[in-house]
């Protein structure tokens, strides 16, 4: 069985066009202002703040939806870690050691 990729729940999203599960983790930081597209070749839709559960208000973006254990949008941050597809999802921020 392949090992699951460890990701933060805050990084998960669902393509607003086709619903494919995505993560912000691993996307190059220098591409933040770039136009991101869905990795699903049948979709290739442009990803926006909605893809990652953010609402753009007058005071900036606010996380309003979370991808839950069932792979659907939920209105509150999940309370426990869970597995979803090829991801092992962590609810608390992940800390990486500095070398």
Mean pLDDT of the chain: 87
Separation between Cα atoms, residue 6 and residue 61, nearest integer Å = 25
pLDDT at 95: 67
pLDDT at 1: 62
Nearest to 73 by CA among 3, 19, 18, 8: 19
pLDDT at 32: 59
pLDDT at 40: 93
Residues 51-64: tens digit of each pLDDT: 999 988 767 778 89
- Segments of the chain with pLDDT less than 70: 1, 28-33, 58, 94-99
Residue 31 backbone dihedrals phi, psi, to 5 degrees: -105, 15
Q: Residues with Cβ < 8 Å from 84, sequence gap 6 or more? A: 12, 21, 67, 69, 71
């Amino acid at each position: 069985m392949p090992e699951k990729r460890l990701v933060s729940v805050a990084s998960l999203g669902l393509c607003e066009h086709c619903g494919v599960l995505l993560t912000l983790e691993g996307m190059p930081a220098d591409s933040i202002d770039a136009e991101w597209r869905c990795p699903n070749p049948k979709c290739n839709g442009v990803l926006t703040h909605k893809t990652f559960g953010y609402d753009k208000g007058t005071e900036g973006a606010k996380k309003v939806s979370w991808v839950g254990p069932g792979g659907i949008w939920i209105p509150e941050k999940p309370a426990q870690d869970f597995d979803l597809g090829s991801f092992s999802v962590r609810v608390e921020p992940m800390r990486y050691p500095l070398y």
